[in-house]
Structure 1
Amino acid sequence: MSSDTDGSTEQRLASLRERVARGMDRREFIRTLVAAGYSLGLARVLGVDDFLAAEDGEVPVVTALVRTDPDDPWSVDTRTRSVPASWYASVSKAFELNELLAESTITGYLGSAVVPGTYDDGGATITVEVSVEADAVRDVVDRAVDGVSINVDTIRNLDGLEDDVQREPRRARDPASTLVPAGISCETDTSIATLGPALYEPGTNSRYFSTAHHAFDSVEDARGATVSLPFENGQRTELGTVTESYPVADVVTIEPTGPYRPSSTIDGDRQYDIQGQFTRYGLADLVARDEPLEKVGALTGQTSGEIQGIDAVSCLTGSVCRRGQLRWGDETDMADGDSGSVSFHADPVSDDESVLIAGFNNARTWWPGQSYVWGIAAYQLTEQHGFHF
């Protein structure tokens, strides 16, 4: 390929990808490559190999990061599946438009999310929340194409939601077991949270406990804070020390300081074994197939609910908009103390009842007209900070 000094190569790649998604057949695709001066060595960048192997009218997408060896958390590889080209075109355009909204300076913009349609209808919707009537939203997305619709909701009341229900937190059962599952309570100096699954850091081959950053009284940097593990018998022990603190992602990593170690299991109605995580398009695939998510929180236990939005942006808390958020379920699926839990779904292609992680649960809506749980998606945590489940 010839050298590129004006950024046109990236634009040409994007244009070619979009034309593929819109149903370009194989012969036309090859002719376009040759006419544009691309070598077939660019196949891996464009996904040509997968494209040529797919059925007509379909394109491949990466849906998950999964372990090739169930017992080795470092043996992570990508999984792909072919999806309808028209659906892919609409969903990918919706992702682009949602990013455009997030980067805009619309007065009163509070957030937005992408809601893929089913594979049969091939469409997608962007839901937008604003604090005032905002015609500017339409102006920003006036480049919307067929298959992408916009829903604008005006939110005027952001008063806090009180949780009056008194619940007994779920605690660890066996002090003799050194592998600690997710879905049970952990304690900081100021609050109770839910312990997340093991987070793995490939660069250092380290594994950490995880939970929500705001469990540390919303301090900017929680590094050095200790986390305790309570047991059903009343025993309590120090679990570990916070090593990394991510206030925007609302996640902390906790290095074990005693005999207990994090595990890739969730203690719910049964033990759920984690074998990977969903990507952005993996979550979109779940929405297209009307598949729900589940979670196990220390306060509300195990619940399930529909996915309400992916690749979401939330500007409702703090001074920075949170991107790569996942919305699912409703307000009743979360209570104070459930923060740090994860949402998950059965591995779509596994026959061993293992699960894949969708994302963390960090908050719930407290404004009228909408009801869902939200938190950072697993793919966003991986893209921004390198950790995987």
Structure 2
Amino acid sequence: MSGDYSARLVQRLTNLRDGLEPGMDRREFLRTVVSGGYVLGVASYLGVEDFLSADEGEVPIVTALVRSDPDDPFSLEERTRDVPAEWYAAVTKALEINEYLATVGMTGYLGSAVVPGSYSSQTASVSVGISSEGRSTREMIEEIADGISINAETIVEVEEMEDGPPSTQPRVATNVDSGVAPSGVVCETPSSMATLAPALYDPNTEQSYFVTAEHAFEGVSDPVGEPLVLPIDSAEPAQLGAVEYAYPVEDVAVVTPNGDLEPSSTIDTPSSARVRGQYTRLGLADLVARDEYLEKVGALTGHTTGRIQGIDAVTCFTDTFCRRGQIRWGGEMDLTDGDSGSVSFHEDPQGAADDVLVAGFNNARTWWPGQSYVWGIGAYKLTETHGYHF
């Protein structure tokens, strides 16, 4: 099979998958495949047989990328789950509307997020933030809703950041005798401090990196080359390495290890959580549908949990550009200065007792009246945009 033909066939099957009608059963799907001229053997090779294995009225979605070998970060496999077809159709449409709103950039548009409903409700909605000057856009937004509930809220002027939770002593790494640096502890830049995230991996080079928030390197226009330091309890600080890649829109700084310590997939919690992979966009939607919570371990506020408030969010509140692929979860008291760079995560339901899957980074919190959540880029978006994974 030539590359061009294979690519065209993949696109046709993708279009077929995207065109799934709510309530379509396996017989109807099979008829559509055959009438469309598809060879079932090829369709099976490309994964379309997942539809045929699902129960009536359900479709499979990829919920996570998970390591088949816990010790091999490059052994990622897709994990799937069957979900109601009507719920899938509602969430997919809400994601499309959310993307349209972000692309058009209506007057006063400050951001939006998709809020999947429960499986029993088989619904989804889009939460939209509008400035006072954009009130006239409400009717325009509702016109494109196409059956999806739109919750538009006027947001008052975003002013200076208010104080966060009371200051506490940062969580410092206590044991690096193994030669690895745990995540969930404080790390220091030349101008600030942040939280060290779990190891980030580049599948193309099979390189592992330290990673934290890009905005922690304040005062410099480009932090590439800037050092990152790990304070250690009762010992001299360790030089982790220097920033090799900086992504201000995603608010991520990627640091190449200098050889003294290696990045770890372990989060410094009482149970020493081990990262086994990460959630996809629809995997986060699945968590919302089942009313599951996310967790985080920050260098200042420690361990907190909170409900997911929105996925695939667009945030245009604080900069001249918009940040896409964001997660909104928890409340504003779940994050303070020094917690940026931590990750939100959820236990791996099919893993060992201490295994977790990463949802995304924590970069900031709301400080304006009327809203309360932590926000940061989803792990899936970082993978889509730059190829990295946890």
TM-score by length of 1: 0.93
Gaps of 5+ in 1: none
* Cα distance in 2, alignment partners of residues 158 and 11 from structure 1: 43
Q: Which residues in structure 2 correspond to 1:1-389 (within 5 Å)?
A: 16-17=16-17, 19-40=19-40, 43=43, 47-132=47-132, 133-146=134-147, 148-159=148-159, 160-163=161-164, 165-217=166-218, 219-233=220-234, 235-389=236-390
- Of residues 326-335 and 161-170 in structure 1, the stretch that sits farther from structure 2 once superposed is 161-170
Identity across the alignment (%): 56
- The alpha-carbon distance between structure 1 residues 19 and 205, as it changes in their structure 2 partners (threshold 3 A), is closer
What letter corresponds to residue 157 of structure 2 in structure 1? N
Q: Is the 8 A contact 2:180 2:264 kept in 1?
A: yes
Q: Secondary structure at the match of 1:101?
A: helix
- The alpha-carbon distance between structure 1 residues 46 and 261, as it changes in their structure 2 partners (threshold 3 A), is closer
Gaps of 5+ in 2: none
What letter corresponds to residue 32 of structure 1 in structure 2? T
* Cα distance in 1, alignment partners of residues 11 and 242 from structure 2: 46
C-alpha displacement of 1:227: 0.6
Q: How many residues align?
A: 383
Give RMSD over aligned pairs.
2.2
Q: Deviations over 1:330-350 (max 9, x none)?
A: 001000000000000000222
C-alpha displacement of 1:11: 9.8
Q: Deviations over 1:232-284 (max 9, x none)?
A: 22521211111111110100111111411110010012200110000001101
* Cα distance in 1, alignment partners of residues 54 and 219 from structure 2: 48
* Cα distance in 2, alignment partners of residues 303 and 98 from structure 1: 29
Q: Secondary structure at the match of 2:167?
A: coil
Q: Is the 8 A contact 1:157 1:368 kept in 2?
A: no
What letter corresponds to residue 319 of structure 1 in structure 2? T
- The alpha-carbon distance between structure 1 residues 16 and 175, as it changes in their structure 2 partners (threshold 3 A), is closer
* Cα distance in 2, alignment partners of residues 223 and 353 from structure 1: 34
What letter corresponds to residue 177 of structure 1 in structure 2? S
- The alpha-carbon distance between structure 1 residues 253 and 44, as it changes in their structure 2 partners (threshold 3 A), is farther
What letter corresponds to residue 149 of structure 1 in structure 2? S
Q: Secondary structure at the match of 2:209?
A: strand
* Cα distance in 2, alignment partners of residues 18 and 213 from structure 1: 36
- The alpha-carbon distance between structure 1 residues 185 and 13, as it changes in their structure 2 partners (threshold 3 A), is same
What letter corresponds to residue 149 of structure 2 in structure 1? S
What letter corresponds to residue 156 of structure 1 in structure 2? V
Q: Deviations over 1:207-241 (max 9, x none)?
A: 00100000000644211000111112252121111
Q: Is the 8 A contact 1:21 1:88 kept in 2?
A: no
* Cα distance in 2, alignment partners of residues 166 and 207 from structure 1: 32
* Cα distance in 1, alignment partners of residues 61 and 221 from structure 2: 37
- Of residues 57-66 and 264-273 in structure 1, the stretch that sits farther from structure 2 once superposed is 264-273
